[in-house]
C-alpha cells in the first residue's frame, strides 16, 4: 500500500520541525532557526494544500481519459478532500477567534 503524498508531506514536515526544535534547544531557547517563523510555516502549509488539491484534480482528469489507476485516483481525491476539510476547519477557527477578540471589552 502506497503512502498518499499528503501524508508523506506531513510526516516530512513533522520530521523537519522536530530536527529544528532539537537544534534550537541545543543552541539555547532564545535562538531560532532562520526562516522558521510562523508566517513561513503557514505559507508552506498553504502551498502544500494547493499542491494536494491540484494533484487530486490531475488524477481525476487522468482517470476520465483512462490513463490512471482507479486506486491512485481515489487516494488522491481523498487526500484533496481531507485537505479541503482541514483548510475550512482552520478558517472557521480563525474567524471564531477574530470574532471573540472583537467582542471583548476594551
Range of the domain at 97: 38-106
Structural domain total, the chain: 1
What's the whole-model pTM score? Answer: 0.59
1, part of any domain: no
Lookup: cell for 85 = 476539510
Report angle CA 61, 50, 99 to the nearest 5 degrees.
130
18, part of any domain: no
How confident is the model over 61-102, as pLDDT tens digits? Answer: 999 998 888 999 999 999 999 999 999 999 999 999 999 999
106, part of any domain: yes
C-alpha of 59 from chain center: 19
Q: Is the pLDDT of residue 10 over 80?
A: no
Give the pLDDT of residue 20: 60
Give the CA distances from residue 49 to residues 28, 39, 78, in Å, rounded to whole numbers and listed in that order.
33, 15, 13
29, part of any domain: no
How confident is the model over 19-43, as pLDDT tens digits? Answer: 665 444 444 444 455 557 888 888 8
12, part of any domain: no
Nearby residues of 86 by Cβ (< 8 Å), 6 or more positions away: 49
Amino acid at each position: 500500500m502506497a503512502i498518499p503524498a499528503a501524508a508523506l508531506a506531513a510526516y516530512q514536515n513533522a520530521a523537519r520541525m522536530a530536527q529544528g526544535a532539537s537544534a534550537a534547544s541545543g543552541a539555547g531557547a532564545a535562538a531560532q532557526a532562520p526562516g522558521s517563523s510562523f508566517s513561513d510555516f503557514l505559507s508552506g502549509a498553504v502551498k502544500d494544500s494547493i499542491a494536494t488539491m491540484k494533484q487530486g484534480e490531475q488524477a481525476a482528469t487522468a482517470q476520465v481519459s483512462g490513463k490512471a489507476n482507479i486506486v491512485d485516483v481515489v487516494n488522491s481525491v481523498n487526500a484533496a478532500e481531507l485537505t479541503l476539510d482541514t483548510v475550512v476547519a482552520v478558517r472557521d477557527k480563525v474567524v471564531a477567534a477574530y470574532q471573540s477578540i472583537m467582542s471583548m471589552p476594551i
